[in-house]
């Protein structure tokens, strides 16, 4: 036994020293990250390079080893140097590397009776199977960087929370149900819906309070709060999304231009489940999937341009109605709502189960107009195709009639129309038109270009503006 009560090292080979350094800790290397289990937090936390060096130093520096000199074995203190530390870290990779892992969470040393890791929600009092409601003990074999700040209580209920939502949504039960489904979707990591969530409404209308509740339910370490500029610039800004369940943008404001396009691309790729390569400062690049789900909060809907209109179809909108500007109750969350967090958790998980069974989000009737506005802003052509072009195998419509209807549609919605060539390009991108649908037909004794399989259904009486008004000039 050495003087500091640590066992004498029998070898100073890097593999032996690496095993000694990680002895007694649950340390793994996965997806380019060093992860150590923190039992008091019921989750794994990522170690940076300095923390890893500190672990090696505190475990080995000054420890006694047997030196075999020419006069025979003798005890000597170990003194680390840069090369030795680097060799130990390299050996630690081989000892802790989790091969074949592409996303969190996962099981270490998986057993046949282990639940599907995607169904487990770490809470402060264990691991909750959110589908069945079964709570099991926490274990370092379950690798997740997430843990809710809330303890699961199947009997917890809500009262003040219900009153709060009823007030800010002005009694709109469809929107209240949708909010719980959205929160449940984010909590349970159901990325398969490939949605981007927007919560908008006037200042001081409860958006920040919902943000606070969702953050507590997820766990503060499971939430990123990026700024639009930070993530639109790319580079190291995206590293804040690694290992997070949600990216909550609390006061989203968007300017037009190149950064808008970059943000649209990022939202589409992350919500679509694409493989990501993310640069990290002084660390290996992260290569893997970002399970992060987006919640954008703003005073007005965030409008983004996208040629195909895909960004609009992925948006799930919610609108708070009643503002408390000038009469805010700043103690409301801590006093009345946070004590009901376990009940809110139950409500969100029940909503998540309903969403899973239904298989899709429902658009509240009060939001449908806003949804159409988002689509028109993303791509006027795609919105026109969705609202006014009916697929009909028997139809054959003159090409010029379709474009003329588009021009009337643009005038009726107060938008500038694009020229004919750009219109047909964008219509092709929308998926509603293919080149092989274009035909040449004889009409009234002359040959005209027609589109086979599409007919126009434009209700000009329902347009916001009269197409006959030449207001664009």
Q: How do the domains of the chain map onto residue ranges?
A: 14-101, 160-372, 379-462
Three-state DSSP class for residue 255: coil
For domain 160-372, the question of CATH label 3.40.50.300 is answered with yes
CA-closest candidate to residue 343, choices 128, 207, 152: 152
Contact residues for 403 (Cβ-Cβ < 8 A; gap 6+): 420, 423, 424
Cα separation, 243 vs 437, in Å, equals 46
Please indicate whether the domains covering 160-372 and 379-462 agree at the CATH topology level: no
pLDDT at residue 3, rounded to an integer: 43
Structure tokens at 159: 């009262």
Residue recorded with tokens 């050996």: 91
Cβ–Cβ under 8 Å, residues 231 and 238: yes
Q: How is domain 379-462 classified at the architecture level of CATH?
A: Orthogonal Bundle (1.10)
Cβ–Cβ under 8 Å, residues 123 and 146: no
Block means of pLDDT (10 residues each) for the chain, 473 residues, are: 62 91 91 92 92 92 82 84 93 94 90 95 97 96 96 97 97 97 96 94 93 97 85 73 89 60 83 84 79 91 76 90 87 96 98 96 90 79 88 92 91 83 87 89 80 88 57 35
Cβ–Cβ under 8 Å, residues 239 and 279: yes
pLDDT at residue 440, rounded to an integer: 87
Cα separation, 257 vs 166, in Å, equals 38
Describe the chain by its helix, strand, coil percentages, rounded to 5: 40, 20, 40
Cα separation, 277 vs 269, in Å, equals 11
pLDDT at residue 472, rounded to an integer: 35
Phi, psi of 68 (to 5 degrees): -95, 90
pLDDT at residue 372, rounded to an integer: 79
Q: Give the number of C-alpha atoms closer than 13 A to the C-alpha of residue 93, restricted to the C-beta side.
A: 8
């Amino acid at each position: 036994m050495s003087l500091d009560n640590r066992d004498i090292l029998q070898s100073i080979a890097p593999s032996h020293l690496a095993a000694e350094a990680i002895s007694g800790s649950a340390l793994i290397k996965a997806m380019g990250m060093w992860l150590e289990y923190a039992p008091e937090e019921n989750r794994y936390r990522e170690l940076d390079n300095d923390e890893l060096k500190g672990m090696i130093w505190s475990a080995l520096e000054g420890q006694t080893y047997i030196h075999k000199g020419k006069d025979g074995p003798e005890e000597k203190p170990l003194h680390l140097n840069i090369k030795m530390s680097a060799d130990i870290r390299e050996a630690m990779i081989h000892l802790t590397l989790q091969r074949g892992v592409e996303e969190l969470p996962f099981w270490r040393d998986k057993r046949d009776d282990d639940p599907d890791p995607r169904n487990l929600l770490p809470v402060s009092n264990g691991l909750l199977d959110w589908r069945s409601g079964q709570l099991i003990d926490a274990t370092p074999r379950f690798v997740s960087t997430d843990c809710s700040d809330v303890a699961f209580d199947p009997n917890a209920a809500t009262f003040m929370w219900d009153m709060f939502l009823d007030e800010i949504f002005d009694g709109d039960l469809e929107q209240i149900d949708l909010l719980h489904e959205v929160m449940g979707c984010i909590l349970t990591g159901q990325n398969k819906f490939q949605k981007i969530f927007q919560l908008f409404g006037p200042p001081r209308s409860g958006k920040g309070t919902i943000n606070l509740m969702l953050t507590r339910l997820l766990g503060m370490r499971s939430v990123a709060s990026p700024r639009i500029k930070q993530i639109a610039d790319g580079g190291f800004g995206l590293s804040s999304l690694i290992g997070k369940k949600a990216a909550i943008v609390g006061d989203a404001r968007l300017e037009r231009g190149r950064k808008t396009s970059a943000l649209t691309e990022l939202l589409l790729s992350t919500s679509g489940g694409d493989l990501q390569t993310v640069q990290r400062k002084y660390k290996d690049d992260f290569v893997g999937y970002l399970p992060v789900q987006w919640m954008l909060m703003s005073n007005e809907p965030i409008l983004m341009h996208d040629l195909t209109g895909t960004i609009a179809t992925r948006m799930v909108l919610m609108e708070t109605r009643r503002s408390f500007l000038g009469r805010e109750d700043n103690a409301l969350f801590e006093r009345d709502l946070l004590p009901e967090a376990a009940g809110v958790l139950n409500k969100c998980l029940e909503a998540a189960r309903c969403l899973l069974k239904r298989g899709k989000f429902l658009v509240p009737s009060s939001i449908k107009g806003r949804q159409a506005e988002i689509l028109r802003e993303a791509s006027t052509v795609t919105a026109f195709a969705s609202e006014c072009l009916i697929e009909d195998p028997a139809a054959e419509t003159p090409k010029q009639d379709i474009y003329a209807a588009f021009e009337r549609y643009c005038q009726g919605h107060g938008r500038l129309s694009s020229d004919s060539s750009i219109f047909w390009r964008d219509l092709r991108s929308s998926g509603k038109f293919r080149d092989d649908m274009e035909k040449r037909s004889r009409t009234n004794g002359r040959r005209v270009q027609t589109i086979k399989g599409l007919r126009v259904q434009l209700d000009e009486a329902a347009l916001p503006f009269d197409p006959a008004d030449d207001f664009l000039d």
